[in-house]
Amino acid sequence: MKFIPGFNDVAAASRLITPFLNHTPVITSRQLNGMAGGELYFKCENFQKVGAFKFRGATNAIMNLSEVERSKGVVTHSSGNHAAALAHAAVSRGVRAYIVMPETSPEVKKRAVSGYGAEITYCKPTLEARESTCAAIMDRTGATLVHPYDNFFVIAGQGTAALELLTRWPDLDVIIAPVGGGGLLSGTALAARGVNKKIMVYGAEPEMANDACHSLKAGRIIPSDNPKTIADGLKTSLCERTFGIISQNVTDILTVSERSIIEAMLLIWERMKIVIEPSSATVLAAVLANKELFRGKKTGLIISGGNVDLRKLPFNEIP
Amino acid sequence: MKFIPGFNDVAAASRLITPFLNHTPVITSRQLNGMAGGELYFKCENFQKVGAFKFRGATNAIMNLSEVERSKGVVTHSSGNHAAALAHAAVSRGVRAYIVMPETSPEVKKRAVSGYGAEITYCKPTLEARESTCAAIMDRTGATLVHPYDNFFVIAGQGTAALELLTRWPDLDVIIAPVGGGGLLSGTALAARGVNKKIMVYGAEPEMANDACHSLKAGRIIPSDNPKTIADGLKTSLCERTFGIISQNVTDILTVSERSIIEAMLLIWERMKIVIEPSSATVLAAVLANKELFRGKKTGLIISGGNVDLRKLPFNEIP
């Protein structure tokens, strides 16, 4: 049994990291309320630093390093939002960040991570290469590994988004967050249950990467095998730590089709005028596909981030 | 000389219409500040009702109808944001709205206007057809014409966005707004000069639809002839009323290339995570192309709206 955070750890994270965060807005939309038949409160982490909630967990991990650990730096392997978040959180607090990225990562992500001042090491695009490169850096530098979700302080930090939402709107009946590796959903569940034992907590997961749904039903971890989904932040599978928290604190996992993710993303861009990434759209997709669960209720939705490759959108093809 | 509003009319509009508006946020971005070498304050009317500042002027026009005028309704010809704004402002205040639209208007715009409860009359896509259809409706119903910018109350209403921005940030050195027909820029200039006589006021205009720039240099109105620009909200030309206000109150018109509009739009979507329409991007494009005017200054930028056809963006092509 790994060491598991609780509500107090989320509350402690909130006190510690709030000065370094953007206080992200909670947005509502009459039109989307009408479609859902209930009240929806969107906590918009697309406006968080580095464009994603991941900055919360990364900052909490950095703030909890010992003096000796700080002096040796942190390391992670990721090509996504966690890499940028750890790089920015570490370097802006005077800590070195070593980021292992597959050499095939998009240029824009490489530039973002190096722009935050991290030291990038490229490796082959396989899990073995990423882990062995990471291990070699730890051997050489003594840097502390900060895993994107299998980490006590990261999970507690991710829960602070829900805690802020519930501080503003304490009478929510339901809260829903996307689930990939489970860091955000675990933190969200800990925050929500700590504020209100009766609150319903749902995870929203792509059908095409539904390991959390399978694992909860089976009572053991059944990882996804190379899943394909537009929700690129949700391809990872649960670990023991997040599986434990989620099985004890989450009401259910709602899976959503690729089409419904895209339709929900379009709705949010069109009606709310905000840029969100596909992973974030899973929560509205789940609400609209399961109206009986949310009708007449006050539901909080965690919008996880807004990092999407706009250069693939057509407005840059116009002269 | 047509009847011209002043600062007091903008202030009166603000008192009258504020209860019916979204109080839109002012957003800042460290990254964009860094690129501009100054402080930028974006007043985000993309979050206004109907997705554009046009709801302000339309609401002010409706609130200033006499009892007799209210009973007969309002009419306008437009296929853009003003049609939706007038429809919503009128019908939600219990006033009939007759909207003349070219039969070639996009389905999505037709649905939006009829969704707000307006009565649509379709006509051939020519200015003559639009004006004669409008005149016939006025003859038949006695409805009051609410022109999209050549209207005292509309101009005063549009100025309330800048007034809100300056109430929050009274020490702005510069304010910049897009210019098409000139309603927004006129209202913005009246608001800004009323708050602070020394404030610089710029208009941002596409090079491809640069009638305001030409007209100000010539000292008389030189309308654009069927201009082509991605900034579809800025194709209209000044009228006598807006030309008069702008020539007396605006420091200069800055023209921007099509490429710079698209680049600025991409920057705002990418860095600020908000959906804005091309017309709104002209203001940042003008700031970045004229850094010497804005360096070290506090600049307010009016983001006019967020209505852009997302179905032409590629994320809806993914399965």
pLDDT over 70 for what percent of chain B? 97
**8 Å CB contact between B187 and B159:** yes
Please judge whether B258 and A318 are an interchain contact, meaning their C-beta atoms are less than 8 angstroms apart. Answer: yes
Distance of residue B42 Cα from the nearest chain A Cα, in angstroms: 15
From chain A, the residues in CB contact with B304 under 8 A are: none
Q: pLDDT digits over B262-303, tens only?
A: 999 989 999 999 999 999 999 999 999 999 999 999 999 999
Q: pLDDT digits over A248-281, tens only?
A: 999 999 999 999 999 999 899 999 999 999 999 9
Give me A302's structure tokens.
Answer: 């965690």
Contacts of residue A50, Cβ cutoff 8 Å, sequence gap at least 6: A81, A84, A85, A88, A112, A116, A307
Q: Which residues pair with A203 in a beta bridge?
A: A177, A253
Contacts of residue B243, Cβ cutoff 8 Å, sequence gap at least 6: B182, B215, B221
Distance of residue B273 Cα from the nearest chain A Cα, in angstroms: 5
Please judge whether A46 and B306 are an interchain contact, meaning their C-beta atoms are less than 8 angstroms apart. Answer: no
**Most trustworthy range by pLDDT among B171-175, B306-310, B313-317:** B171-175
pLDDT of residue B1: 42
Q: pLDDT digits over A90-107, tens only?
A: 999 999 999 999 888 878
pLDDT of residue A180: 95
From chain B, the residues in CB contact with A274 under 8 A are: 273-275
Residue of A274, A278, A313 lying closest to B274 (CB–CB): A274
CATH T-level assignment (fold) for domain A7-52+151-311: Rossmann fold (3.40.50)
Q: Which of residues 240-259 of B touch A (CB under 8 A)?
A: 258-259
Pick the CATH number of B55-145 from 3.90.1570.10, 3.40.50.300, 1.10.620.20, 3.40.50.1100: 3.40.50.1100
pLDDT of residue B174: 98
pLDDT over 90 for what percent of chain A? 86
pLDDT at A216 over 50: yes
Q: pLDDT digits over B75-109, tens only?
A: 999 878 999 999 999 999 999 999 999 888 878 78
Q: pLDDT digits over B210-264, tens only?
A: 999 999 999 999 999 889 998 989 999 999 999 999 999 999 999 999 999 999 9
Distance of residue B30 Cα from the nearest chain A Cα, in angstroms: 10
Residue B242 DSSP class? H
Nearest CA in chain A to B272: A47
Please judge whether A319 and B278 are an interchain contact, meaning their C-beta atoms are less than 8 angstroms apart. Answer: no
Nearest to B313 by CA among B279, B280, B271, B265: B265
Residue of A259, A266, A275 lying closest to B269 (CB–CB): A275
* Same fold? A7-52+151-311, A55-145: yes
Over range B12-23, report the average pLDDT: 97
Residue of A46, A230, A273 lying closest to B46 (CB–CB): A273
pLDDT over 90 for what percent of chain B? 86
Nearest CA in chain A to B268: A275
Where residue B315 falls among pLDDT bands split at 50, 70, 90?
Answer: very low
Residue B305 DSSP class? B
Over range B6-21, report the average pLDDT: 97
Q: Which strands make up the sheet holding B97-102, listed edge to edge?
A: B119-123, B97-102, B74-77, B144-145
CATH T-level assignment (fold) for domain B7-53+151-307: Rossmann fold (3.40.50)
Residue B10: its H or E element: helix B7-17
Q: Is B278 on the interface with A (CB under 8 A)?
A: yes
pLDDT of residue B234: 94
pLDDT at A201 over 60: yes
pLDDT at A314 over 70: no
Please judge whether B276 and A278 are an interchain contact, meaning their C-beta atoms are less than 8 angstroms apart. Answer: no
Residue of B266, B275, B315 lying closest to A274 (CB–CB): B275
Where residue A312 falls among pLDDT bands split at 50, 70, 90?
Answer: low
**HSE-up of residue B54 (Cα within 13 Å, Cβ side):** 29
**8 Å CB contact between B278 and B307:** no
Q: Is B313 on the interface with A (CB under 8 A)?
A: yes
pLDDT of residue A7: 97
Nearest CA in chain B to A317: B262
Q: Which residues pair with A303 in a beta bridge?
A: A44
Over range B31-45, report the average pLDDT: 97
Distance of residue B155 Cα from the nearest chain A Cα, in angstroms: 25
pLDDT of residue B319: 34
Domain ranges (residues) in chain B: 7-53+151-307, 55-145
Q: Is A304 on the interface with B (CB under 8 A)?
A: no
pLDDT at A218 over 80: yes
pLDDT of residue B316: 33
Q: pLDDT digits over B168-192, tens only?
A: 999 999 999 999 999 999 999 999 9
pLDDT at A154 over 70: yes
- Global confidence as pTM: 0.93
Please judge whether B273 and A47 are an interchain contact, meaning their C-beta atoms are less than 8 angstroms apart. Answer: yes
Q: Is A25 on the interface with B (CB under 8 A)?
A: yes
Q: Which residue has the higher pLDDT, B112 or A156?
A: A156
Please judge whether B308 and A315 are an interchain contact, meaning their C-beta atoms are less than 8 angstroms apart. Answer: yes
Distance of residue B22 Cα from the nearest chain A Cα, in angstroms: 11
Q: What are phi and psi of B189, to 5 degrees?
A: -65, -40
pLDDT at A22 over 90: yes
Residue of A262, A311, A315 lying closest to B316 (CB–CB): A262
Rounded Cα distance between A116 and A110, Å, is: 10
User: What is the ipTM metric for this complex?
Assistant: 0.91
Q: In sequence order, what DSSP letters do the residues of B107-149 get, joined into one string?
A: HHHHHHHHHTT-EEEEE-SSHHHHHHHHHHHHHHH-PEE--SS
Where residue A127 falls among pLDDT bands split at 50, 70, 90?
Answer: confident
Q: Is B35 on the interface with A (CB under 8 A)?
A: no
Residue of A258, A273, A314 lying closest to B47 (CB–CB): A273
Please judge whether B319 and A276 are an interchain contact, meaning their C-beta atoms are less than 8 angstroms apart. Answer: no
Q: Is B157 on the interface with A (CB under 8 A)?
A: no
| Average pLDDT value for chain B | 93
pLDDT of residue B169: 96
